[in-house]
Amino acid sequence: MKQVEVLIIGAGPAGLSAADILLEAGASVAIVDRSDRVGGQLTKQTHMFFGSQAHYASKRGIDILTILFDKIKHHPNLHMFTNTTVAGLYPDKVVACVQESRYFTLQAKAIIVATGASEKSLPFENNDLPGVYAAGAVQTLMNVYGVKPGDKVLMVGSGNIGLIVTYQLMQAGVIVPMLVEAAETISGYLVHASKIKRLGVDLRMRTSVKRALGTKHVEGAQIWQLDEQWQGIPGTEETIPVDTICLAVGLSPLTELLQQIGAEVTYINELGGHVPRLNDRFETTVDGVFACGDVAGIEEASSAMIAGTIAGLEAALKRGYKIENVAERRASLHASLATLRSGPHAAKIRKGHEKLGVKS
């Protein structure tokens, strides 16, 4: 069995940031990602990012990715395994990997789980009809492969992902006549909502999809208004002629591997689902197994990068490496994270962390 020092699962912003500081400290690092492209969600983000300029705000996701990866990609102590899925994590940090049809195992001294999240679906009649897509799939089609998912799209969900993907669809020449949201108010940043509203998108609150219309492919969507209990109100149905329904209804952390290795996880609605219990070194309840990024609670790339750096720093210290000015760096990383989580938009995250019993 091949031995590796620190194994990072997931090459998104969290995993790459962890790798960067570990390599700097002198550790040897293996990164495994099931995709053929490095970068996780960043590969699909063609829009300018928010956040502090110190953390790449105003740059586009794909360009941030290039900056992150260029820093480390030629490092002699880095081993990349792309197209490789971690299928299992076992005691003694044995990692089962599948690369195409090849199966192999690695053994690590420390593991950082940065697997990100998967998209949630929405139950409605005919939701398996071709033409019903998750927002991530739509983004991959458009921004990675340059293919339009359809000509006319109904967007479901007013979080930042729904708002941003709507804008990206419009940039690709796709018509988005309407966006529906079950909640009473827009849940993403208002600047993103205003950006599509002024270009003519009808934003409907307290509205959801009742059924997808069509037999072989989506030919329309029947929407209806929701009452206070989020139940559809009969008689309020409307038919929207679209060929695509795009679901941007949330993400849930990919914690299966952590559960497999015996790390304690708790269901916290505000953080997207099951999340690991972490100490302030971002270590799970299993010694030497760390977690960071969306897998530890749905947030942002900006926070994923900082959390990844913290997890990497702590893993390096645990392996016995020295990091210059460690106290200062640690404090400043935690302070940046706290700032990102201090605004009104992060109220949900703060509440989730409170339930989990950690300080943000």
Ligand X SMILES: Cc1cc2nc3c(=O)[nH]c(=O)nc-3n(C[C@H](O)[C@H](O)[C@H](O)COP(=O)(O)OP(=O)(O)OC[C@H]3O[C@@H](n4cnc5c(N)ncnc54)[C@H](O)[C@@H]3O)c2cc1C
The H or E element containing residue 356 is helix 347-356
- Among positions 254-283, residues that touch ligand X (CB under 6 A) are 254, 257
Q: Does 108 bind ligand X (CB under 6 A)?
A: no
The CA-atom distances, in angstroms, between 168 and each of 27, 148, 154, 196 are: 39, 11, 13, 10
Closer CB to other proteins, 132 or 248, in the complex: 248
- For the chain, the maximum distance between any two Cα atoms, rounded to a whole number of angstroms, is 67
Binding segment (CB under 8 A) for other proteins, from list 30-38, 83-91, 189-197, 236-244: 189-197
Neighbours of 100 (CB within 10 A): 8
The H or E element containing residue 89 is strand 84-90
- Integer Cα distance of 166 and 233 in angstroms: 26
The CA-atom distances, in angstroms, between 259 and each of 12, 93, 192, 288 are: 20, 13, 36, 15
The correct pick among 4, 6, 8, 11 for binding ligand X (CB under 6 A) is 11
* Partner that binds at residue 205, options other proteins, ligand X, none, CB closer than 5 to 8 Å by kind: other proteins
Q: How far is the CB of 58 from other proteins (least distance, A)?
A: 4
- Integer Cα distance of 335 and 327 in angstroms: 12
- Among positions 194-253, residues that touch other proteins (CB under 8 A) are 194-201, 203, 205
* Partner that binds at residue 321, options other proteins, ligand X, none, CB closer than 5 to 8 Å by kind: none
Binding segment (CB under 6 A) for ligand X, from list 20-28, 175-183, 292-300, 343-351: 292-300
Binding segment (CB under 8 A) for other proteins, from list 127-135, 241-249, 280-288, 338-346: 338-346
CB contact set of 228 (below 8 Å; sequence gap of 6+): none
* Partner that binds at residue 304, options other proteins, ligand X, none, CB closer than 5 to 8 Å by kind: ligand X
Q: Does 47 bind other proteins (CB under 8 A)?
A: yes
The correct pick among 3, 52, 279, 332 for binding other proteins (CB under 8 A) is 52
Q: Does 42 bind ligand X (CB under 6 A)?
A: yes
Q: Does 143 bind ligand X (CB under 6 A)?
A: no
Using CA atoms in the order 194, 195, 196, 200, what is the torsion angle rounded to 10 degrees?
80
Letters for 159-178 (x = contact with other proteins by CB under 8 A, - = none) are -----------xx-x-----
The H or E element containing residue 72 is helix 61-72
Q: How far is the CB of 114 from ligand X (least distance, A)?
A: 5
How many residues of this chain bind other proteins (CB under 8 A)? 42
State phi, psi for 256 to the nearest 5 degrees.
-55, -45
- Integer Cα distance of 167 and 153 in angstroms: 11
Q: Does 50 bind ligand X (CB under 6 A)?
A: yes
DSSP-derived letter for residue 59 is S
Question: What b/e string do you get for 109-129 counting C-beta neighbours within 10 Å, with b at 16 or more?
Answer: bbbbbbbbbbbeebebebeeb
Query: Which parts of this chain interact with ligand X (CB under 6 A)?
Result: 9-15, 32-35, 40-42, 45, 49-51, 85-86, 114-117, 136, 139, 160-161, 164-165, 254, 257, 293-295, 299-302, 304
- Write out the residues near other proteins by the rule CB under 8 A: 46-53, 57-60, 63, 170-171, 173, 184-186, 189-201, 203, 205, 302, 339-340, 342-346
